[in-house]
Amino acid sequence: MLVTAYWRTNLTLRQLAPLFGVSKSTAGRVINHLGPLLALQPRKRFAKDTVLIVDGTLVPTRDHTVAERSKNYRYSTNHQVVIDADTRFVVALGRPLPGNRNDCKAWELSGAKAAVGRATVIADGGYRGTGLIIPHRREHGQAELPAWKEEHNASHRKVRARVEHAFARMKEWKIVRDCRLKGEGVHHAMRGIARLHNLTLVG
């Protein structure tokens, strides 16, 4: 309860500890010990017809040893999140990278690519050159796409929106809006929140 309350509210340890009748240092030890135990375990196998969706999200992170200034001009970490397009469960999370890394590089460097193996994965246009299924783009000198490609893109956007919905639910946990945890803390928090997100979907 203490760990989930911390992730949900992002209260400081000084504020949180009295709510549970413990000292600030005890609250810190509980979070550091139990947080990793709540982490999502990535799925190891996927059915042949499984379709996955990947996208990156930035988490503002105060530990500048793991974060960098990103496009939102805040120090942040880039997290590659992979969901099952059918169930909408989070099935894998890449290791956090500095927020100035673009998604096409983060896809491989974070370990997300290795985690999904040969499964079919769709992504947005930021993953060009990765071999993932991305939207069709106009060629040089081409005024507009053929109608069939526009239809494919519309269908692609509709399915890909599911990962944005997952981000919206995960970011209801205030720790991912301004993470004060150091080192591996942001990674453990994201994996823990992913697991709790999946449990919420199960009902």
Which domains, and CATH codes, for the chain? 39-202 (3.30.420)
The pLDDT of residue 68: 94
Give buried/exposed letters for 184-196 (b at 16+ CB in 10 A, else e). Answer: bbbbbbbbbbbbb
Residue keyed to tokens 């942001």: 186
**Cβ atoms of 136 and 145 closer than 8 Å:** yes
| Long-range contact set of residues 38-43: C-beta below 8 Å, sequence gap at least 24 | 38/3, 38/4, 38/188, 38/191, 38/192, 38/195, 38/196, 39/188, 39/191, 39/192, 39/195, 40/90, 40/93, 40/191, 40/192, 40/194, 40/195, 40/198, 42/91, 42/92, 42/93, 42/115, 43/91, 43/92
Query: pTM for the whole thing?
Result: 0.91
The pLDDT of residue 157: 92
Q: Show pLDDT as tens, one digit a residue, over the chain (203 residues).
A: 999 999 999 999 999 999 999 999 999 999 999 999 999 988 888 998 999 999 999 999 999 999 999 877 789 999 999 999 999 999 999 999 999 999 999 999 999 999 999 999 999 999 999 999 999 888 877 778 888 888 998 999 999 999 999 999 999 999 999 999 999 999 999 999 999 999 999 87
Instruction: Give how far Cα 133 sits from Cα of 45, 54, 95, 130, Å.
Output: 20, 10, 22, 9
Cβ count within 10 A of residue 183: 11
Q: What is the DSSP secondary-structure string of 27-50?
A: HHHHHHHHGGGGPPPPP----TT-
The pLDDT of residue 42: 85
The pLDDT of residue 21: 96
**Cβ atoms of 31 and 65 closer than 8 Å:** no
